[in-house]
Amino acid sequence: MIYILYNPYAANGKSSSDVDKLRDLYQNAVFCDMTKIERYSDFINTVNAEDSLILCGGDGTLNRFVNDIGDTPVNCKIFYYAVGSGNDFAHDIGKSRADKPDFEINKYLSDLPTVTVKGIDKHFINGIGFGIDGYCCEEGDRMRLQTPEKKIDYTVIAIKGLLFKYKPTSATVTVDGVVHKYHKVWIAPTMNGRFYGGGMMPTPHQNRLNKDNKLSCMVFHNSDKLRTLMIFPSIFKGTHIKHTKYVEVLSGKEITVEFDSPRSLQIDGETVIGVTGYTAKVKQKAIV
């Protein structure tokens, strides 16, 4: 049996036409609205080893799925149909939006890292944004509530934030026990993959399946507004790391980032406001 789990709210509610295409490809499949499943872990327990799951949605859908199933064993194959807004996970593994879901993703869902924010532990798929990227998510959420039908342009939000609203902060970044101090920090994400934020590539050399089992933290610091505005667009190509005076990438198994004043944070696109610090670390125990 093939179970197709779809998120009707993916891509701001505009993924339904893409999901409908699967009805012709998998005519005998069982389609399940993910929002009507109370607990994914309970659903997983009803699936047999010979069955298959196709997850339809974006990065947020994947994040919710892996956090809900927790340590529940998944014995069947899981495939992915990327129909979200950013689709950073799909991009990272060499896939595009609405590619045929014939690629298994079980290996990408095992040994996922965790992040601790405000005393709560969560798994994450792509990365943790802290700084102006978290600010952009907070602003985007606010704008979406005001005008749900309007497309959110995060690049415009970032530019306005850099020029007018967002203020950099001092930060302490501790990587595997080694402390690093920075001033005028604009952004300090910790990444499991290369992409987040709809195509930004803060850590272009990060490999989510790296043998060393390490995460990467990129710190953009000691730059004034004008220089930051000039360098910032290069994050979409990953060439910002050439500016070594202002950009540093640290790698380790446990990374703690602390700001000297509260900022918004995002976990695979989910916003958490009023955060002064987070700890991300690799996880040895497999989920899948």
* Global pTM value: 0.93
> Can you read off the two tokens belonging to residue 8?
């009707």
User: Residue 154 — pLDDT band, cuts 50, 70, 90?
Assistant: confident
| Each residue's pLDDT tens digit, 66-75 | 999 988 888 8
Q: Which domains does the chain have, with CATH numbers?
A: 2-108 (3.40.50.10330), 114-281 (2.60.200.40)
Look at residue 287 in the predicted model and tell me its pLDDT.
47
Residue 90 near residue 82 (C-beta atoms within 8 A):
yes
> Can you read off the two tokens belonging to residue 172?
């302490």
| Each residue's pLDDT tens digit, 243-286 | 999 999 999 999 999 999 999 999 999 999 999 999 999 986 44
Q: What is the mean pLDDT of residues 26-50?
A: 93
Look at residue 99 in the predicted model and tell me its pLDDT.
95
Distance (Å, whole) CA 76 – CA 74: 6
Look at residue 6 in the predicted model and tell me its pLDDT.
95
Distance (Å, whole) CA 5 – CA 264: 31
Average pLDDT, the chain: 93
> Can you read off the two tokens belonging to residue 179?
């402390």
Which range has the worst mean pLDDT, 76-85, 86-95, 157-166?
157-166
| Each residue's pLDDT tens digit, 100-151 | 999 999 999 988 999 999 999 999 999 999 999 999 999 989 988 888 777 7
Distance (Å, whole) CA 117 – CA 277: 7
Look at residue 288 in the predicted model and tell me its pLDDT.
46
| Percent of the residues in the chain that have a pLDDT greater than 90, as a whole number | 82
46 pLDDT higher than 70: yes
Residue 279 near residue 255 (C-beta atoms within 8 A):
yes
